[in-house]
Amino acid sequence: MRLALLVLTGLTLAGPAAAGERWPLWPSEIDRIAEPLRAGEARAALVVPEAHKLQALRALERYPSALVEPILLATLDAEAPTGVRREALLACFERQLASCGPAALVRWQTDSDSGVRIAALRVLAQSSSNAALLLAALRDADESVRAEAAHTLARVTWPEDQLVRVRTALIAKLVDTAPPVRRAAARSLGLLGPPGATLRGAPTRSTRPEPGVRNADPAPLALARLLVDPDPQVRQDAAEALGNLRDPRGAPPLLRALEAGDEVYVSRAMIAALAALPGAEVDAALLRLLDAPPRGLVHRNIGEALARRPAPSPALIAGLVARIREDALQPFVLDALLMHGELAAPALRAALARGLEPPLALAVTRLLAALDPSPSAPDPPPWPSASDPEAWQLRLADARDGLPAAAALAAAAPPWLGLVAVGALARETGPVLRRPWLLALAATAATPPADPLLHARLASWVGDPGLAAIDRCLALAALGRSDSPLAASSLAAAASDLQPAIRACAAMAARDDVLLAGLLRDPSPRVRASASYTLAACPVRSSPGTRASAALLAVRDPHPGVLLAAQAALAADTRPACRWQLLDAGDPRARAPSEALGWVDLRWRDRDLRLPVLAIGEHRWVLAPAIGEATLAVPAELPTTPRALQ
């Protein structure tokens, strides 16, 4: 059996490929798939239907670009059918292959099909060196090409010296005869932002024109003329672009268009754009519109716009508070004040001090309570003495404090721990009371209890698919501390479980090189990251094949969590004896923006890691050996790093 696993390990050393891609299983696999694309090269009399060629191109999507690139380049010739050329160019664009540029240029200059030329334009737009070609495409006879060119100009990162020229060309296309071109030009101007905008969209200089300055940005006034365009979708895109430019000169035309009335979706775009513009005049206008919404809008639309004001003035806050007694406006006014947070709190406290009707006073009190920071929780009581098992049982029975108490009990390792744990787990008290005792048995350095009935119960929990993943993992961790023959069989069964979370727990519990070698090939990144972390944290005597697999994961795995864990495994010089620990990963709503769902960013032994988490309700935990040495990599604006449970 061991020899067979080693042979399997050697056959799969290629490791996992990028997400959605895989390397061929045999040398001729890609040649067989691409045969319809090459059939005409050797056998001129053979006619392959275009549908077969398209099917072959789409079948190549799963393979890495390094293998597909030569086939795509060979397909971009004049002999290929129109649909095939278009599909190949789109594949070049999606893969961002710069080598397709020369062939795309030929297709742009010589093809008559609009779809092929548009696909070629997208490929060419990947380089800002093709600025002249893109600008020339704005004057193409085909309106779909002009619209694509206007849309594409906003997707290129332009140097500052070319950005002025690009914006000028887009402003000129706002008067194009084709509505799709006008729409695309308006959207692109909004996406490019005001002149001098940084990559984050914040202007490097003020965009508010000064009186008497002739060279102010002409885009807002040009877009304002589109607010009366015959096409309602053009009017909508022009309004959204005015909101993105944040130029106060857009406010008067937006107000005139709102007062004239429009389609519902156009009016909503206009009110959202108006709310994004600076100025006290806009605040006053929004309050007037809240009192009497124009045609196509209701109080809710205006209230939502008021809530989105980026920097509300004191006059706006005071105007909202003054309307708090109006029944028709009250829910929208309260929502807007809540969104403005601490800026609205002083005015609300003053209104409450002046006196409000009891129902309204209650609503304002609740609103102020939501705006005020919550008081800090009191410090938990100290842990009981190691000689007081009854007190410890009470602490472990606390649903909020059970797992931290179990970690503290495991660290104390009193001699009575095993006996009391056997009795507690024999009572079948449910998961809330079971989890702390399982953690205490798994994490303690004390001698595990030699109780066959307990071992059988733990093995049944490990194999029970009806239990939560963290329950099965804790049972596996506790069972792995014993010398029971059930430990090895339960570990093998968990390593082949259908749930990736259970296989990941098996990877954390594995200390056998052959088992870890197989788990490093698992299709789930949770399992591969867990197996790599075990190699980094625990004293596993790994074979050259296993180390080669980890080396491949460290450079080729598509998931960042696997990459970081495999790099840690390769860099680890000493791996001291490790025992199970639990790390509090906090509330998922307070996780770092860079974290993916189900993972957490950590700092472990001076290295960055990203490991999978296990959930209990709205809380997350990392269950792994030696994880107590890790801390959460939490940004400064997030809550304080939770403590590690050792």
Which of 221-230, 304-313, 369-378, 542-551 has the lowest average pLDDT?
369-378
Looking at residue 177, its pLDDT comes to 93
pLDDT tier at 512, thresholds 50, 70, 90? confident
Report the distance separating Cα 269 and Cα 408, nearest Å: 57
Report the distance separating Cα 384 and Cα 394, nearest Å: 10
Report the chain's terminal Cα–Cα distance, integer Å. Answer: 37
Looking at residue 52, its pLDDT comes to 87
Is residue 14 within 8 Å of residue 63, measured between CB atoms? no
Highest mean pLDDT among 401-410, 424-433, 493-502, 593-602: 493-502
pLDDT tier at 210, thresholds 50, 70, 90? very low
Highest mean pLDDT among 31-40, 141-150, 622-631: 141-150
Looking at residue 4, its pLDDT comes to 42
Between the alpha carbon of residue 319 and those of residues 283, 313, 351, 613, the distances in Å are 9, 10, 12, 47
Exposure b/e, 581-619, CB count within 10 A at least 16 = b: bbbbbbeeeebeeebeebbbbbebeeeebbbbbbeeeee
Q: HEC states along 181-223?
A: HHHHHHHHHHHHCCCCECCCCCECCCCCCCCCCCCCCCHHHHH
From the list 78, 79, 69, the residue with the least C-alpha distance to 101 is 69
Q: Which residues contact 17 (CB under 8 A, 6 or more apart)?
A: 23, 64, 556, 558
> Which region, left, alpha or beta, applies to residue 413 given φ > 0 means left and ψ of -120 to 50 means alpha?
left
Report the distance separating Cα 345 and Cα 367, nearest Å: 9
Report the distance separating Cα 321 and Cα 352, nearest Å: 10
Which of 134-148, 243-257, 341-355, 455-469 has the lowest average pLDDT?
341-355
Is residue 60 within 8 Å of residue 33, measured between CB atoms? yes
Q: In this structure, what are the phi and psi dihedrals at residue 9, rounded to the nearest 5 degrees?
A: -60, -45
Looking at residue 468, its pLDDT comes to 87
How high is the mean pLDDT of the chain?
A: 83
Which of 240-244, 263-267, 369-373, 445-449 has the lowest average pLDDT?
369-373
Report the distance separating Cα 547 and Cα 535, nearest Å: 9
Query: DSSP code of 231?
Result: S
The kind and range of the H/E element at 487 are helix 485-495
Token digits of residue 373? 């920071």
Sign of CA dihedral 32, 37, 39, 42: negative
Is residue 565 within 8 Å of residue 609, measured between CB atoms? yes
Is residue 285 within 8 Å of residue 256, measured between CB atoms? no
Q: HEC states along 538-553?
A: CCCCCCHHHHHHHHHH
Looking at residue 3, its pLDDT comes to 37
Report the distance separating Cα 7 and Cα 274, nearest Å: 67
On the question of pLDDT at 588 being above 60, the answer is no
Looking at residue 444, its pLDDT comes to 86
Q: What percent of the chain has pLDDT over 70?
A: 86
Between the alpha carbon of residue 280 and those of residues 217, 253, 291, 319, the distances in Å are 21, 16, 17, 12
pLDDT tier at 348, thresholds 50, 70, 90? confident
Exposure b/e, 138-154, CB count within 10 A at least 16 = b: bebeeeebbbbbbbbbb
On the question of pLDDT at 146 being above 80, the answer is yes
* Mean per-residue pLDDT, 184-196: 88
Looking at residue 100, its pLDDT comes to 92
Is residue 299 within 8 Å of residue 334, measured between CB atoms? no
Token digits of residue 4? 């067979």
The pLDDT tens digits of the residues spanning 8-57 come to 334 333 344 444 567 888 778 888 888 888 755 444 445 788 888 889 89
From the list 624, 619, 616, the residue with the least C-alpha distance to 443 is 624
Q: HEC states along 252-277?
A: HHHHHHHHHCCCHHHHHHHHHHHHHC
Q: HEC states along 279-290?
A: CHHHHHHHHHHH
Q: What angle is formed at CA 183 by the lines to CA 179 and CA 186, rounded to 5 degrees?
A: 135
Identify the residue whose tokens are 């014993």. 482
Looking at residue 186, its pLDDT comes to 94
Token digits of residue 616? 């209990």
* Mean per-residue pLDDT, 136-150: 93
Residues in the chain: 646
Looking at residue 646, its pLDDT comes to 39
The pLDDT tens digits of the residues spanning 69-108 come to 998 988 887 678 888 889 999 999 998 898 999 999 999 9
Query: DSSP code of 632?
Result: E
On the question of pLDDT at 6 being above 70, the answer is no
pLDDT tier at 583, thresholds 50, 70, 90? confident
The pLDDT tens digits of the residues spanning 23-34 come to 888 778 888 888
Looking at residue 288, its pLDDT comes to 92
Strand partners, 582: 623, 645
Q: Of 589 and 556, which is predicted with more confidence?
A: 556
From the list 581, 580, 584, the residue with the least C-alpha distance to 643 is 584
Which of 131-135, 355-359, 590-594 has the lowest average pLDDT?
590-594
On the question of pLDDT at 268 being above 90, the answer is yes
Report the distance separating Cα 474 and Cα 581, nearest Å: 10
Q: What angle is formed at CA 290 by the lines to CA 288 and CA 293, rounded to 5 degrees?
A: 95
Query: DSSP code of 482?
Result: S
* Mean per-residue pLDDT, 501-524: 89
Report the distance separating Cα 29 and Cα 315, nearest Å: 70
* Mean per-residue pLDDT, 110-123: 91
Report the distance separating Cα 83 and Cα 101, nearest Å: 19
Looking at residue 89, its pLDDT comes to 92
Looking at residue 335, its pLDDT comes to 87
Is residue 335 within 8 Å of residue 367, measured between CB atoms? no
Exposure b/e, 305-320, CB count within 10 A at least 16 = b: bbbbbeebbeebbbbb
Ordered DSSP codes for 618-631: TEEEEEEETGGGEE
